[in-house]
Amino acid sequence: MTTLTTAPAPATPTPPSVELFDLRKVFGGTMAVDGVSLTVEQGEFLTLLGPSGCGKTTTLRLIAGLEQPTSGEVKIHGKSMVGRPAFKRPVNTVFQNYALFPHLDLLENVAFGLRMAGIARDERHARARDALAMVRLAGYEHRRTHELSGGEQQRAALARALVNRPTVLLLDEPLGALDLRLRKEMQLELKGLNRQVGITFIYVTHDQEEAIVMSDRIAVMLRGRILQVAPPMDIYRRPASRFVAEFVGETNVLAGAARATESGWAQVQLAGLGSLRGRLAESLDGEAAASVSFRPEWVSIGPVEAREAESAGAMSNGRLNRVIGSVVQMLFQGPDVVYHVMLPGGHVLRARRPIEAAESDSTRLGDQVALSFPVEETMVLVR
Amino acid sequence: MRASSAAVWALGLATLLFIYAPITLVIIYSFTADQTMTYPVKGWSVSWYEAVLANEPLHESFRNSVIVASISISVALLLGIPAALALDRFDFPGKGLLERLLVLPFVLPGMVLGVAMLALFNLAGIKLSLITVIVVHSTLLLSVVILQMGVGLKRWDRRLEQAASDLGANEWQVFWHVLLPNLRSVVIGAVLLGLTFSLDEVTRTFFVTGVDNTLPMHIFSMARQRISPEINAVASLLFGTSLLAFLIATRVGRHRVAER
């Protein structure tokens, strides 16, 4: 895995919060988790992001001890968790369906872990009250779980996990059942809580926006493997593969043949469209089939210059890539206008302009335009 | 349309009458002042209830029945709950067969089981006593408990067990603090049903009773000697108790529905 921001190995003797070594899990012949290795630092907010069935929840359950790996190892604070059941691990989980106990009131739900740990009644109730107050559920102590709204249940599940002061908190799509507004609110709260309590958060979601907003680092997963681990900004601007580029955010992709030029850069020949220049996601020897990916918000729209009108359509001048096409669609999307521009080969690219920039230009439907975007923000993806 | 709906009503009423008229008669005649059941009732008294209160052999049979029922249901719970859990959780060769074998005593004609048990006790040289009755009742109630628990466990959300274990509960604590409290109504239902079966069981009991009679066996022998209104009084008391148990059972059931 080549990323721009792999943290250097810490010189301090304190072990990382969670380490996964070549973790594999087979369910009835299918490899749910296929060789996952990962290091999560103390206090970090790491998100496992991927489509459903990518193995992210299984990975989380392997850390929790709710599943045992087929092979590989989980270490928590440097200690091997091999053969150690869930109830003996210093982690707690917020489940997707919350899994609150229907036979207990909210206070007893939150105090459950402390009760199992043999903490005296008065102390565990006091701590459970504090935990409820922290998630703004003070006064709800004697409610039954079915009397709570989705958001309240979510916060209750969070309190029930955090009250045990776990060293690692595992969250399995905890916001999935909430409506958009509440979800955005809870995203910020969770992020704040992570900073405030200093507990390592490992968060599972299929929602890339959620992952970007909250995470210190994102691990993008597909078919049981981790494709890329990096901070959200790097995942977004420097995706290492076409899947990551397309899964996280919106992007334009053109296929072609890449040839490495100087170190870290490549020239990509597009079929019948000329060539573009971009950053290589990984080192490349000679030529290879590749995708060129660039985000619509980096693409600006301008008039076609006279000397360009005769050319093949795509070119680069070292700093900017330029592509010629005609505007087939203009969509007003709140703060932005999105232009759909068709290339001679029939491929449609998108350019996203802020509304104030779009207002001042006179582009009309059907116009021939030149799209330009920086080579710095153009990724050449071999995978 | 109207005529047919009237016919349905009539049929329904006739059915209810068919079921409940004898019970009503039993209750009415338990209060008769007469020595026999004659129509019309000549006078009212509670003397037959006083006779019941004074009938020492009847009391003893009742005590025997309570002993048999409570030990049998305890044995059935102790064996049946783990068995139901094992059948719910694990796959092993012969599981389907075992499942059927465990509920067979419930389906098998009582007389077959009674004869078989009697033969077994004879072969083993075990003297018939309340203990043999308890053994027979336990097998029957074991089926009841396994069947009831099986239904309850099928509806049970095992993710709650995982949540508990994630919160530090070991297997025993998960069972005791999460599974059992949530299936409380199922257990209570099984107990009430089991007690009803045991307190009322005659066919199997008949073959394995020694000198000590259970309540239904004693009533049976009383009835063979003479149909006296005293039997009506006993029957009325039993009916009242059963009704109470039934009401408690449905109350518990309704509570469960409300929780869901």
The DSSP-derived string for A137-195 is -TT-TT-BGGGS-HHHHHHHHHHHHHTT--SEEEEESTTTTS-HHHHHHHHHHHHHHHH
Q: Which of B159, B167, B259 to mutate to test the interface with A (most CBs of A within 10 A)?
A: B167
* CATH of residue A218: 3.40.50.300
A12 in any annotated domain: no
Instruction: Give Cα separations from B189 to A363, B196, B241 (angstroms).
Output: 76, 11, 16
Which burial class, exposed, middle or buried, applies to B230 when counting CB atoms under 10 A from its CB (0-12, 13-18, 19+)? Answer: buried
ipTM above 0.85, yes or no: no
Q: Residue A237's domain spans which residues?
A: 18-242
Q: Which pLDDT score is estimated for A8? A: 54
B169/A112 touch (CB, cutoff 8 Å), yes or no: yes
To the nearest whole Å, the CA of B189 is away from the closest chain A CA by 17
Q: Of A186, A211, A242, which residue is a domain's last?
A: A242
A53 in any annotated domain: yes
B246 in any annotated domain: yes
To the nearest whole Å, the CA of B125 is away from the closest chain A CA by 49
- Give the pairing type, strands A79-80 and A252-260: unpaired
Q: What is the pLDDT of residues A190-230, one digit of tens each?
A: 888 888 888 999 999 999 999 999 999 999 999 999 999 99
* Nearest Cα to Cα of residue A24 among A70, A73, A83: A70
Q: Which pLDDT score is estimated for B258? A: 38
Find chain B residues with C-beta within 8 A of A161's C-beta: 167
Q: Is A79 in the same domain as A197? A: yes
The dihedral over CA atoms of A272, A276, A281, A284, expressed in degrees to the nearest 10, equals: 70
- Per the CB < 8 A criterion, the answer to whether A208 and A247 are in contact is yes
Q: Which of B166, B174, B179 to mutate to test the interface with A (most CBs of A within 10 A)?
A: B166
To the nearest whole Å, the CA of B257 is away from the closest chain A CA by 12
Helix (H, G, I), strand (E, B) or coil at A53: coil
Q: Which pLDDT score is estimated for A32? A: 92
B165/A103 touch (CB, cutoff 8 Å), yes or no: no
Inform me whether the C-beta atom of residue A102 falls under 8 Å from chain B C-beta atoms.
yes
Q: Of A242, A264, A297, which residue is a domain's last?
A: A242
Show the low-confidence residues of chain A (pLDDT under 50): 1-3
Q: Is A233 in the same domain as A113? A: yes
B139 in any annotated domain: yes
Establish whether the linkage from the previous residue to B40 is cis, with ω within 30° of 0: yes
Q: What is the pLDDT of residues A255-301, one digit of tens each?
A: 888 888 887 888 888 877 788 889 988 877 878 888 999 999 999 88
Q: Is A282 in the same domain as A364? A: yes
* Nearest Cα to Cα of residue A93 among B165, B179, B177, B176: B165
Q: Residue B136's domain spans which residues?
A: 56-259
Inform me whether the C-beta atom of residue A95 falls under 8 Å from chain B C-beta atoms.
yes
Nearest CA in chain A to B158: A99
B162/A116 touch (CB, cutoff 8 Å), yes or no: no
Take residue B74 and report the two structure tokens written for it. Answer: 């305890």
B165/A146 touch (CB, cutoff 8 Å), yes or no: no
Helix (H, G, I), strand (E, B) or coil at A292: strand
Q: Which pLDDT score is estimated for A307? A: 67
To the nearest whole Å, the CA of B173 is away from the closest chain A CA by 8
B93 in any annotated domain: yes
Q: Is A261 in the same domain as A236? A: no
Number of inter-chain CB pairs under 8 A, A vs B: 66
Q: Is A311 in the same domain as A200? A: no
- Per the CB < 8 A criterion, the answer to whether B179 and B84 are in contact is no
Q: How far apart are CA B194 and CA B140, in angstroms?
A: 8
Q: Kindly give the confidence (pLDDT) of every residue in chain B, 260 residues in length, as a single tens digit, with 9 standing for 90 and above.
A: 567 888 999 999 999 999 888 888 888 888 887 777 777 777 788 888 888 888 888 889 999 999 999 999 999 999 999 999 999 988 888 888 988 888 788 788 889 989 999 999 999 998 988 999 999 999 999 999 998 999 899 999 999 999 999 999 999 999 999 999 999 889 988 998 898 889 888 889 989 888 888 988 888 888 888 777 888 888 888 888 888 877 887 776 554 443 43
Inform me whether the C-beta atom of residue A86 falls under 8 Å from chain B C-beta atoms.
yes
A127 in any annotated domain: yes
A101/B178 touch (CB, cutoff 8 Å), yes or no: yes
Nearest CA in chain B to A87: B168
- Per the CB < 8 A criterion, the answer to whether A231 and A198 are in contact is no
Take residue A306 and report the two structure tokens written for it. Answer: 């006279």
B71 in any annotated domain: yes
Q: How far apart are CA B14 and CA A180, in angstroms?
A: 60
One-letter amino acid of A281: A
Helix (H, G, I), strand (E, B) or coil at A11: coil
A81 in any annotated domain: yes
Instruction: Give Cα separations from A212 to A27, A69, A72, A184, B205 (angstroms).
Output: 30, 29, 29, 12, 72
A185 in any annotated domain: yes
Q: How far apart are CA A154 and CA A193, in angstroms?
A: 14
Q: How far apart are CA A131 and CA A35, in angstroms?
A: 37
Find chain A residues with C-beta within 8 A of B170's C-beta: 85, 87
A258 in any annotated domain: yes
B203 in any annotated domain: yes
Where helices occur in chain B by DSSP H, the ranges are: 2-29, 47-54, 56-89, 95-107, 110-124, 130-155, 159-166, 171-174, 180-182, 184-200, 203-208, 215-225, 229-259
Q: Which pLDDT score is estimated for A1? A: 42
Total domains in chain A come to 2
* Nearest Cα to Cα of residue A301 among A261, A241, A341, A257: A341
Instruction: Give Cα separations from A54 to A50, A266, B110 (angstroms).
Output: 6, 31, 56
- Give the pairing type, strands A379-381 and A274-280: parallel
Q: How far apart are CA A111 and CA A109, in angstroms?
A: 5
Q: Which pLDDT score is estimated for A13? A: 67
Q: Is A187 in the same domain as A300? A: no
Using a CB–CB cut-off of 8 Å, the residues of B that contact A are 157, 159-160, 162-170, 173, 177-178, 181-182, 184, 259
Q: Which helix (H) or strand (E) holds A246?
A: helix A242-247
Nearest CA in chain A to B172: A116
To the nearest whole Å, the CA of A213 is away from the closest chain B CA by 27
* Nearest Cα to Cα of residue A109 among A138, A82, A142: A142
Q: What is the pLDDT of residues B8-44, one digit of tens each?
A: 999 999 999 998 888 888 888 888 877 777 777 777 8
* CATH of residue A351: 2.40.50.140
Q: Of A242, A264, A283, which residue is a domain's last?
A: A242
Q: Which pLDDT score is estimated for B257? A: 40
A164/B168 touch (CB, cutoff 8 Å), yes or no: yes
B232 in any annotated domain: yes
- The structure's pTM equals 0.81
Q: How far apart are CA B260 and CA B256, in angstroms?
A: 7
* Nearest Cα to Cα of residue A371 among A347, A343, A336, A345: A343
* Nearest Cα to Cα of residue B74 among B172, B182, B198: B198
To the nearest whole Å, the CA of B259 is away from the closest chain A CA by 7
Q: Which pLDDT score is estimated for A92? A: 93
B25 in any annotated domain: no
Total domains in chain B come to 1
A101/B182 touch (CB, cutoff 8 Å), yes or no: yes
Q: Is A264 in the same domain as A167? A: no
Q: Is A237 in the same domain as A254? A: no
Take residue B227 and report the two structure tokens written for it. Answer: 């149909």
A92/B160 touch (CB, cutoff 8 Å), yes or no: no
Q: How far apart are CA A252 and CA A229, in angstroms?
A: 22
To the nearest whole Å, the CA of B150 is away from the closest chain A CA by 20
Q: How far separated are the first and last CA of chain A, in Å rounded?
A: 12
To the nearest whole Å, the CA of B253 is away from the closest chain A CA by 15
Helix (H, G, I), strand (E, B) or coil at A273: coil
Q: How far apart are CA A37 and CA A23, in angstroms?
A: 6
φ and ψ of A254, to 5 deg: -125, 140
* CATH of residue B71: 1.10.3720.10
Inform me whether the C-beta atom of residue A124 falls under 8 Å from chain B C-beta atoms.
no
Q: Is A188 in the same domain as A278? A: no
A86/B159 touch (CB, cutoff 8 Å), yes or no: no
Inform me whether the C-beta atom of residue A112 falls under 8 Å from chain B C-beta atoms.
yes
B102 in any annotated domain: yes
